[in-house]
Amino acid sequence: MKSRSSWAEPYKIKMVELLKMTTLSQRKKAIREAGYNTFLLRSEDVYIDLLTDSGTSAMSDVQWAGMMRGDEAYAGSRNYYNLEKAVREVYGYTYLVPTHQGRGAEHLISSILIKKGDIIPGNMYFTTTRLHQELAGGTFRDIIIDDAHDAESEHPFKGNVDLGKLEALIDQYGSEKIPYVCIATTVNMAGGQPISMSNLRAVRELTAKHGIRIIHDMTRVAENAYFIQQREPEFKRKSIARIVREICDLTDGATMSAKKDALVNIGGFLALNDQETFEEARNLVVVYEGLHTYGGLAGRDMEAMAIGIRESVDQNHMHARVGQVEYLGQRLQAAGIPIVLPIGSHGVFLDARKILPHIPQEQYPAQTLAAELYIDAGIRAMERGVVSAGRDAKTGKERFPKLELVRLTIPRRVYTQAHMDVIAESVMRVYDRRSKIKGMEMVYEPNYLRFFQARFKPL
Ligand code: F0G
């Protein structure tokens, strides 16, 4: 484990948002009313909100100033052109279709490229990405290295593709059945783990040989680039901006949830290099999102995104961002709490299987642990285990993933080091009383993306 002298923030605080402090009995009532699902809590009942790093960033003063320059014209807003310029300059993709958020872009690309019966290999699934692939008639196939499914493996690039797995799929189905390979930077469900440049290059080489596209889920690409800089010797002296550009250049198009890396509260896009696919996407976006120069966003949102994209590749920003996550992870590690290693870029993932070994996966250990953390100190985390994995599209049976995790996701530029200490202390308290914690049963289950709205009852 590398120690870091300082990850201090390259900014100071100009405005604060006051938080409501709650009592234990208030929290017990709130989580009961929320069906023991942290997604169903009211945010005002939460002290430290680690549900997600999505849309929860603090924008800079420059971004807020950009909001005032919103051009809210229905068509041809100047902010669209600023965003297109930022996407071209920072990421290098030629064509831009803005969408309201990442899943809007996933919907477009899945409906355009996937035919019934197609196979979409990916370096682990993401919930919305896989669902859009399935709704378009495709089947997701996991091609990530086995290490990614092992919370204890300290492989520095657990987001890597197992080329043997990809090659086997190409042999089995032929390239005509594989419209694209989906490559995520970083891999959220594996614990915010990066893919290495050398692995991505190899994936590019193999897919190019078979004429298969790479669609890049670039939600946290700058964080991935930071890890490449830190861990892949060839990139030690290269800027994050250059590494980001090199990653994007190895792919054919991208879906982006700008609510993460790009430091905005809402927004996303589909970016493409091939004109034909772009024209189809530009046509389809008007059906589902909005005109092709706003895609469901206000002009001001596009302006803030254009600025956020540039801020996201700043070295000092990323050093502090990932440094803060590492600080929390290292405190937990020092206390002997089982977490996913190496520590990821956007959060610390608690290994609920190890923390609550007496609760079988059928009784939702990660969901239970997330509820316990809220009860302890008002910290809201997210289940990333069997509830998130949902049911198999064909058999209807629950999927039991190897990773049964609770994600402590750190919003960008929002919380302080003292907050990180409060979180660590709360996790330690829950860990100390772990043997007394009992599992739960699901009492309401929605059809799609059940984790958002499912309800539970303690056993
Ligand atoms: N891809 C990845 C890797 C994501 O993490 C997300 C969202 C999306 C796509 C979808 O983007 O939310 O803008 O529609 N992840 C959030 C999270 C929700 O909490 O991890 P979206």
| Cα–Cα distance list, 157 to 113, 210, 448 (Å) | 29, 25, 31
Query: Closest ligand 1 atom, CA of 129?
Result: 9
Pocket test for ligand 1, best of 108, 128, 132 (most atoms within 8 A of CB): 128
Catalytic positions are: 74, 126-127, 217, 260, 384, 451
The pair of structure tokens assigned to 416 is: 């302080």
Whose Cα sits closest to atom 9 in ligand 1?
A: 102
Whose Cα sits closest to atom 5 in ligand 1?
A: 188
Query: CB under 6 Å to ligand 1: residues?
Result: 52, 54, 101-103, 126, 128-129, 184, 188, 217, 219, 257, 259, 268
pTM of the predicted model as reported, rounded to 2 decimal places: 0.96
Report the C-alpha gap between 304 and 295 in whole angstroms: 15
Q: What are the tens digits of pLDDT across the range 107-149? A: 999 999 999 999 999 999 999 999 999 999 999 999 999 999 9
- Sorted by where each starts, the structural domains of the chain and their CATH numbers stand as 24-53+315-458 (3.90.1150.10), 67-312 (3.40.640.10)
Q: What are the tens digits of pLDDT across the range 358-372? A: 999 999 999 999 999
Q: Is the peptide bond before 255 cis (omega within 30 degrees of 0)?
A: no
Q: What are the tens digits of pLDDT across the range 374-416? A: 999 999 999 999 999 999 988 999 999 999 999 999 999 999 9
Q: What are the tens digits of pLDDT across the range 408-452? A: 999 999 999 999 999 999 999 999 999 999 999 999 999 999 999
3-class DSSP assignment, residue 383:
strand
Residue 312 parent element (H or E): helix 299-312
pLDDT grade for 5, boundaries at 50, 70 and 90: low
3-class DSSP assignment, residue 232:
coil
